[in-house]
């Protein structure tokens, strides 16, 4: 998944919030409810992709200066060209 840029993410969040408040005040049409569900899925997928990217890019160094990053993260970093070892 390609991450949303900040502007697109803000638009999605604003629309989700609008639909939430409308649902609380007067209810949603079937089309709006379907839109709300799709936007929510899109937001969650974007959040997960961003979180996964952060974890894969994380390098852990112990107090002695030794790289103790997990092998799974190291493999992901090598695939991205972030590690030379």
Look at residue 1 in the predicted model and tell me its pLDDT: 62
- The C-alpha atoms of residue 72 and residue 56 are separated, in whole angstroms, by 8
- The C-alpha atoms of residue 51 and residue 5 are separated, in whole angstroms, by 15
What is the pTM (predicted TM-score) of this model? 0.77
- The C-alpha atoms of residue 25 and residue 55 are separated, in whole angstroms, by 39
Closest by CA position to 71, among listed 83, 63, 81, 62? 83
Percent of the chain residues topping a pLDDT of 70 = 99
Where is pLDDT greater, at 85 or 37? 37
Confidence of residue 84 (pLDDT cuts 50, 70, 90): confident
Residue 76: CB atoms within 10 Å = 19
């Amino acid at each position: 998944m390609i991450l949303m840029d900040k502007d697109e993410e803000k638009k999605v969040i604003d629309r989700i919030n609008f639909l939430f408040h409308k649902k609380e005040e007067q209810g949603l049409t079937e089309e709006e409810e379907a839109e709300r569900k799709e936007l929510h899925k899109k937001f969650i997928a974007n959040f997960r992709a961003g979180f996964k990217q952060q974890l894969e890019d994380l390098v852990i160094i112990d107090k002695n200066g030794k790289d103790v990053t997990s092998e799974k993260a190291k493999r992901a970093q090598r695939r991205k060209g972030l590690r030379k070892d």
